[in-house]
Structure 1
Amino acid sequence: MPKSTFTRVRKKIDILRHEAGHLVIAKLLGFETGEIRFSQKDAGAGVTLVPDLRDIEAIKQYVARRVVVLYAGVAAEALRGVTIDQQQALKDFSSEVGMNDFAKIRELLLLLAGLESEDDDRQKLLDKYVEQYANRTGELVQKHALTIHEVAKELAARIPAAGGHLSQSQVDALSSVKKIEVGSEL
């Protein structure tokens, strides 16, 4: 099969690790998380987005944290043990796996660059942010890789019995989720 027509088959555990990545990193960055849903066609991790945006600095901090959470799904899915397979993560971001997350990241980073720059240096600042937040995500995902794997395994064990959906209270009751120190990576 030619390389250009190769499509990676995503396994259930890969998809749940993607969602676990969003969930774990969101909690570590102080976001309230919600439900997890999984089906053959779709998966998602709820993150409550009720920011306190009282000034420009609060907006910048919120956007930075949110971008890291969005990057975390693909980074977690590309985990091989405790190391991110960088080539796989890059492929996933340019495929349907990360397309939705990447569109949100791009929009948020354009907003942030617009707040901080003139038109002539916006692209340079945007490039800086992409690198900065991707690196931050990589550090956090690798640091908390074992927790991400543990959450994904627990989700895989519980989601089928729950009809493909776990409520916020069911997610919060998972033993692996209870261990996460909310806001500890702020």
Structure 2
Amino acid sequence: MDEDARNRAARYRMDPQGETDSTPPDEEATPPPRRRPEDQTLWVDQQIRAAMARGEFDDLPYAGKPLPHIDTAAEPDWWLKRFIEREQITGVLPEALQLRKDDTALDEQLDALRSERAVREAVEDFNRRIVAARRQLQGGPPVVTQLRDVEVEVAAWRERRGRGRPTDDVPPPPSSTPGAIRRAWDRLRRRG
């Protein structure tokens, strides 16, 4: 690289408007020389070499290793999926899909609760989320998650915990069985 090219590269700087930096023009000052593509290339090369000398590229992932092959035709949003995995982002699913995911994990969440009242509140909150998602008008996948019967879930929670009695001051469930409640709802639906 000749001395003139180095000088041009050292003078090459960009301001926010994309024009070369210079002192305010006087009436008799000559216009700045036109930028040439090779000047920009030299300046970029100098910036990269300076960053390498500072060690800014030392701890990059895949340093000294081949880059993984990505089939962009088969997976057009590969970069988004990798970003979500790398940053461990959660809770960005559409509500219908989030409800499906939460439905599969609800029994484990209920098992972690210590009182019957907390189980009832958790199931009622889950049911409220389902109803609210069904009312939304934002589009997206349909909400197919079924409402959970509070009494059935409490009974199942008791059975999983090995208890046959309530654990707090919540009154016992009504004398009708969950199956009878379900049949009554089915009859009402058929009428209306």
- Give the structure with the larger strand fraction: 1
TM-score (norm 2): 0.21
User: Quick check: which has more Rg, 1 or 2?
Assistant: 2
* More relative contact order, 1 or 2 (CA 8 Å, 6+ apart): 1
Relative to the length of structure 1, the TM-score reads 0.22
